[in-house]
Structure 1
Amino acid sequence: MLPDVDPRHDPPRLLLAVAHPDDETFGCGSVLAHAASLGWETTVLCATRGEAGEPAPGFDLGGRSLAEHREEELRAAARLLGVGRLVLLDLVDSGMDGDPPPGSLCAADPATVTEAVRAVAAEVEPDVVLSLDAADGHRDHARVRDAAVTVAAERGVPAYLQALPRSLMDRWVAHMVEARPEMAHLQYADLGTPDDEIAVTLDGSAHLAVREQAIALHASQTSPFEGLPPDLRRDFLARDHLVRA
């Protein structure tokens, strides 16, 4: 599935480390589904319950916290994507900006976050570690990315980062400036990863239906693909772009 992964286990083992519920689906859903279809053992480590997110317009919390809904959605989506094990840490979503609240991912000592990823990796013994490249500007994504890359290097296994080519993000921004100009992500310049830095492009079209179902399970959140023209939505969801860390 990945060119320089030399599995030490049969079946191979993949560890995905992310910051929030929905990162596993919006970012890496097709990779997880593809790995599961090949018989790989997949583990997802999620650092927070996404407390700082905003409910999608019209979503009824029903007297429950957003964190409860998002954890439930994460577990359901992970099952659908064939994830064998889910590990949820007790850190809090830092939000996009401002002083990170006490107990949040970015208020924690980076060494503490790395140790949490290290402990899970010691149990899983992954053949490859995957995370997001954080080119969207979210500080929580960057904190988990750095921990995942560090742990992969310590273990001597490849680390890949899910990325979105800048050319694709430019098309997304052009659409969103018209459709949702209030989005926080639009304040960041040069969203996405330069196209020439993409190391691997995986064809996820065979898993598109499952990924769409997993996206729908995250009903409390507005998907970044919501309302996109069909061709742009498919270009986001039918291929996965990875950089080698």
Structure 2
Amino acid sequence: MSPTTRHPAQRSRLQVVVAHPDDETFGCGSLLLHAADRGARTAVVCASRGEAGESTVPYDDLGATREAELRAAARVLGVERVDLLGFADSGMAGEPAPGTVCGATEDDLVSGIVDAVRAFSPDVLVTLDGSDGHRDHVRVRDAVLRAAEVADVPRVYVSCLSRSLMRRWADHQQVVAPGSPYLDVDAIELGTPDEEMTTLVDVRVHRSVLDRAMAAHASQSSPYADLPEGLADAFLDTARARRVVPPWTGGSPETQLLA
């Protein structure tokens, strides 16, 4: 049954598609908790096992470790289904190898996402905005938007980093890491401009559970761990998104993703 023909008595479904383990939690965890709290069934699709990422300590098999962390975090978030697409992590730089998220053809990536989307049949599909500079995030975002059109998903969002909050983050980094290449937020376009966001969800009630899900990714350093308390709260107490489908026509921001 397609998302557009589901019987109204059935529970809504929200599916998140990301590039690496931890993206689902650090980037979309509060949205998954928000949806589950409202009775929706939720699922996560992850393109890779994140084996090219950095880790807090050396691991014999970082990919296997991060996959296990993904599944543990998903249980905390109340996610009922996790799919891994089997692409390799492209890393941050260099020529992407064949079979990586950026080295595979976009058609292959889209096809894998379409299969996972059709298997779950979501009412709402979410991916990251790709505004943090990681090429895998951009690649998956673009593939998700194509896949959503192929699979005829009725509501599609990108989960956003706020440009204004990224400026505040850069001010903090200027003090603790003055050599960071990410300090000129506007020049390198970190974050989504605040005026482009269509959806602002108050997710403060889910913070303690989100903290447990983030802790499940023990191999990774949380991007929020060393921030001043007020700045961390600003990032985590409100989930921000931009609605892509149906197109936004203006007005007051939405306060939830489920229609």
| TM-score between both structures, scaled by the size of structure 1 | 0.91
For 2:6 and 2:179, the matched residues in 1 are separated by 47
For 1:26 and 1:241, the matched residues in 2 are separated by 13
User: Which residues of structure 2 form unaligned runs of 5+?
Assistant: 245-259
Q: 2:68 aligns with which of 67, 72, 77?
A: 72
User: Which residues of structure 1 form unaligned runs of 5+?
Assistant: none
For 2:179 and 2:52, the matched residues in 1 are separated by 17
Instruction: Report if aligned partners of 1:7, 1:127 keep a CA contact under 8 Å in 2.
Output: no
**Residues 6 and 175 of structure 1: CA distance in aligned 2, closer, same or farther (over 3 Å):** farther
Instruction: Report if aligned partners of 1:129, 1:149 keep a CA contact under 8 Å in 2.
Output: no
Between Structure 1 and Structure 2, how many residues are aligned? 237
Q: 1:91 aligns with which of 75, 87, 98?
A: 87
Shift of 1:179: 2.0
Instruction: Report if aligned partners of 1:137, 1:185 keep a CA contact under 8 Å in 2.
Output: no
1:118 matched to 2:117: no
Q: Secondary structure at the match of 2:225?
A: coil
**Residues 217 and 185 of structure 1: CA distance in aligned 2, closer, same or farther (over 3 Å):** farther
2:256 counterpart residue number: none
**Residues 234 and 127 of structure 1: CA distance in aligned 2, closer, same or farther (over 3 Å):** same
1:164 matched to 2:161: yes
The CA deviation string for residues 151-206 of structure 1, in whole angstroms up to 9 with x for no partner, is 22231412100001110011111112322356565576231111100100000101
| Correspondence list, 1:63-212, <5 A | 64-154=60-150, 155-181=152-178, 185-186=182-183, 189-212=188-211
Shift of 1:101: 2.1
| TM-score between both structures, scaled by the size of structure 2 | 0.86
Q: Secondary structure at the match of 1:52?
A: coil
**Residues 132 and 113 of structure 1: CA distance in aligned 2, closer, same or farther (over 3 Å):** same
Shift of 1:138: 1.1
For 1:92 and 1:181, the matched residues in 2 are separated by 32
Shift of 1:34: 1.0
Q: Which amino acid aligns with 2:18?
A: V
Q: What RMSD, in angstroms, separates the aligned Cα atoms of the two structures?
A: 1.8
1:13 matched to 2:9: no
1:227 counterpart residue number: 226
For 1:183 and 1:91, the matched residues in 2 are separated by 29
